[in-house]
A and B are shown apart, each in its own frame.
Chain A
Amino acid sequence: MEGGGIRIEGLHKRYGKGETAVDALKQVDMRVAPGEVVGLIGPSGSGKSTLLKCLGAVIEPTAGRMILGNEVIYDNGWKITDLRALRRDKIGFVFQAPYLIPFLDVTDNVALLPMLAGVPNDVARTKAMALLQALDIQHRAQAMPSELSGGEQQRVAIARGLINRPPVILADEPTAPLDSERALAVVRILNDMARQFETAIVVVTHDEKIIPTFKRIYHIRDGITHEEIGEGREFD
Chain B
Amino acid sequence: MISLAGRDILHAWGKFIFTGIGLGLLIGVTLTMAGVYRGMVDDGKVLLDNSGADLWVVQKNTLGPYAESSSLYDDSYRGILALPGVAQAANVTYLTMQIRQGENDVRAMVVGIAPGGAGIPGWPPYLVAGRQITRSHYEAVADMATGFKLDDRIQIRRNDYTVVGLTRRMVSSSGDPMVFIPLKDAQEAQFLKDNDAILQNRRRIAENPAFNRPAIPDLLDTVITSQSSNPYVNAVLVRLKPGYAADEVVEVIQRWKRLTAYTRSQMEDILIGKLIATSAQQIGMFLVILAVVSAAIIAFIIYTLTLGKIREIAVLKLIGTKNRTIAGMIMQEALGLGVIGFVVGKISATFWALIFPKYVLLELRDAFSGFIVLMIICVLASIIAIHAALKVDPAEAIGG
Contact = CB atoms under 8 A, between A and B. Distances in A.
* Chains A and B share a contact (CB less than 8 Å): yes
A42 to B, nearest CB: 11
A223 to B, nearest CB: 14
Contacts of B325: 116
Given A103-B10, A116-B1, A89 B395 contact: no
B14 interface: no
Given A103-B12, A172-B398, A113 B312 contact: no
Contacts, number: 82
Contact of B2 (A48, A89, A121, A144): A121
A9 interface: no
A88 B7 contact: no
A89 B398 contact: no
Interface stretch (B132-140, B208-216, B272-280, B315-323): B315-323
Contacts of B319: 87-88, 93, 112-113, 116, 160
Contact of A95 (B2, B7, B397): B397
A102 interface: yes
B276 to A, nearest CB: 50
Interface residues of A, number: 34
Interface in B300-345: 311-312, 315-322, 325
Contacts of B194: none
Interface in A30-60: 48-49, 52-53, 56, 58-59
B395 A53 contact: yes
Interface residues of B, number: 26
A97 to B, nearest CB: 7
Contacts of A172: 398-400
B125 interface: no
Residue of A84, A95, A115 contacting most chain B CB atoms (<10 Å):
A84
Contacts of A87: 318-320, 394
Contacts of B315: 99, 101
A53 B398 contact: yes
A181 to B, nearest CB: 23
A58 B398 CA distance: 9
Contacts of A148: none
A116 B321 contact: yes
Nearest to A204: B400
Interface in B372-395: 393-395
B68 interface: no
A134 interface: no
24 contacts: A48-B400, A49-B398, A49-B399, A56-B318, A58-B393, A58-B395, A58-B398, A93-B397, A95-B398, A97-B399, A101-B315, A101-B316, A103-B10, A103-B12, A112-B319, A113-B319, A116-B320, A116-B325, A117-B320, A118-B1, A121-B2, A160-B319, A172-B398, A173-B399
